Amino acid sequence: MKNLWAPWRMRYILGPKPGGGCVFCLPRSREDDRERLVVHRAGTCFAMLNRYPYAAGHLMVIPYRHVADIGGLSVAEAHELMDVVRLSCRALETFCHPHGMNVGMNLGEAAGAGVGAHLHMHVVPRWNGDSNFIAVLDDIRVVPEALEETWDRLTPIFRELAGQAGRSGEQC
């Protein structure tokens, strides 16, 4: 018998869905960042929690501009994308002390991109032994905290680290 409880998922299952548009094309307003799980906004891209995480703290870094191919990014967008990936790694190290990270992107649906039309980079914290038996036996992932609670705890870390970088003259 298998019993897995994730009561926070029901709000998403029953809640309103974006109407046919790209789930990553966001307004630049910060009003609904918590609802959309956006933890950091930069000039040309943003970081958000993955709504379907592979691990607790799984982030995506996404350009605001709707572009599918990495070659379609401007030099400024490509640089800032990597700056925000670096910031995301630092924030996750502070937040959850992983033993390592997976960082990468799947370009196109054939490569495994769930949203192939809008380029995004994944930043996934990893721990020794985190690919435990439950994922191997039944393709199940256990995420120990509701995404909104993770947002509440992670967003201030991004603000602090981004502020420190700004004071030191670094990007992001």
DSSP 86-146: HHHHHHHHHHH--SEEEEE---SGGGT-SSTTS--EEEEEE-TT-S-HHHHHHS-----S-
3-state secondary structure of 20: coil
Q: Determine the average pLDDT of the residues in 157-166.
A: 84
Q: What is the C-alpha to C-alpha distance for residues 89 and 41, in angstroms, rounded to an integer? A: 15
Q: Which residues are catalytic?
A: 120
Residue 63: what are its φ and ψ, rounded to 5°? -70, 145
3-state secondary structure of 7: coil
Q: What is the pLDDT of residue 8?
A: 55
What are the structure tokens assigned to 27, written together? 């307004």
pLDDT digits (tens, 9 = 90+) for 47-93: 999 988 888 899 999 999 999 999 999 999 999 999 999 999 999 99
Higher pLDDT, 6 or 128: 128
What are the structure tokens assigned to 35, written together? 């609802």
Q: What is the pLDDT of residue 24?
A: 84
Predicted TM-score (pTM) of this structure: 0.76
What is the band of 116 on the pLDDT scale with cuts at 50, 70, 90?
Answer: confident
Q: Residues of the chain with pLDDT > 90: what percent?
A: 48
H helix or E strand, kind and range, residue 67: none
- Residues 20-34 as b or e (16 or more Cβ within 10 Å = b): eeeebebeeeeeebe
Q: What is the C-alpha to C-alpha distance for residues 78 and 45, in angstroms, rounded to an integer? A: 9
- Best CA proximity match to 138, nearest among 39, 21, 4: 4
Q: What is the C-alpha to C-alpha distance for residues 113 and 107, in angstroms, rounded to an integer? A: 6
Domains annotated on the chain, with CATH: 32-161 (3.30.428.10)
Q: What is the pLDDT of residue 107?
A: 84
- Best CA proximity match to 118, nearest among 107, 127, 126: 107
